[in-house]
Amino acid sequence: METIRERGQFRYVRPVPPKAATGRTAQVYAQLAQDFGMARMAVFLTLSPAADVLAATWAMLRESLLAGEAPRAGKEVVALGVSLANKCPFCVAAHTTLLHATGDHRLAETIAAGGVPDDPAHAELLAWAKERGGREPFVSAHSPEYVGTALAFHFINRMASALLTENLLPGNLQKSRLVRSVGGRAMSRTVRRRLPPGASLPLIADLAGRPEPVWAEGTPIGAAYAALRTVARAGGELLAHPARVAVVEAVAAWDGSHPPLGSAWLDDLPMEDRAGARLALLAALAPYRVTDADVAAWHGSRTDQDLVRLFAFGAITATEHAETLITRAPAGERS
């Protein structure tokens, strides 16, 4: 296995280069370049060994964050809030830059610095995103977009933290406020476009995601989330049944904190199941703690596709846990 240094941003997988991509992967790359304005995005490149995971993740992000009627700045606040809560420096840097691209430079840097936005509406959105739910600070018509954005980043944060370094730009240039601001300005025209909903659905039409979530049923976001849930859950098949159950039960009991992960929960598993179960649980609860040794203990002769799928299983298990918390607000507390 190559080392982190040899692969730059990519820790453990060899992405499919855009020029070599075919089929579904090539179609995702093309739509990504058109709608996001970037032909190469590390967080999607690193998913490319598993084309269905790549497509469903892209569809979920596109339909919730990029398309729709809710203000893009508000959704970027949610993406940034979730990324901060999940301790994903790569995504924090990316969405600070994208918030700059909406034109609200003060808002971007205030949140990046750990501050509270001056605008009460943005402050409420940020708190909602960080706290994983509560009273929804948006109108009901926008609920699928905001909830979908939050869940998209609960999944993406975990995949990015597990599979990428924190370097959005060479030399950690993303830590420079000037670089973030200039980068945002360069992307402003693309970010401020209004995209039509549903354009990503042909990419996932054969993935048979069912059922759609109640909070987004009948919308492109609902179809995208159902597809993501289906393909990501399938990664659990790489684990023996007792290991899958152990991961699901550990996540269900999780309180959202970032505790040191011991190995006591592995004690009842056969030795040969522990490495894979540990990787999946790390992806769910603390992906920033995945180490070369953790991956080497399981990866062995398995493929990059297997590794992406295993991490996706852990990530979707945690995302579904977040979904339960985010959507459990009593009717009187939901707009």
The one catalytic residue in 91, 195, 316, 322 is: 91
Alpha helices in 103-240 (DSSP H): 105-112, 120-131, 143-163, 177-191, 220-233
Q: How far, CA to CA in Å, does 135 sit from each of 77, 209, 221, 233, 323?
A: 16, 28, 21, 29, 14
Residue that the structure tokens 């054969």 belong to: 206
With H, G, I as helix, E, B as strand and everything else as coil, classify residue 48: coil
Q: What gap in Å lies between CA 235 and CA 228, rounded to an integer?
A: 11
Q: What Å distances lie between residue 163 and 24, 25, 46, 204, 211, CA to CA?
A: 21, 18, 7, 23, 29
Q: Tokens at residue 31, please?
A: 């739509």
Beta bridge partners of 67: 195
Are 191 and 110 within 8 A, CB to CB?
no
How many CB atoms sit inside 10 A of residue 308's CB?
25
The alpha carbons of the chain give a radius of gyration, in whole angstroms, of 19
Task: Tell me the β-bridge partners of 195.
Answer: 67
Rounded to 5°, angle at Cα 136 from 132 and 141: 125
Active site residue 88: no
What's the gap between Cα 193 and its chain centre?
22
The sign of the CA dihedral 155, 161, 162, 163 is positive
Angle between helices 241-252 and 271-285 (to 10 degrees): 30
Catalytic residue IDs: 91
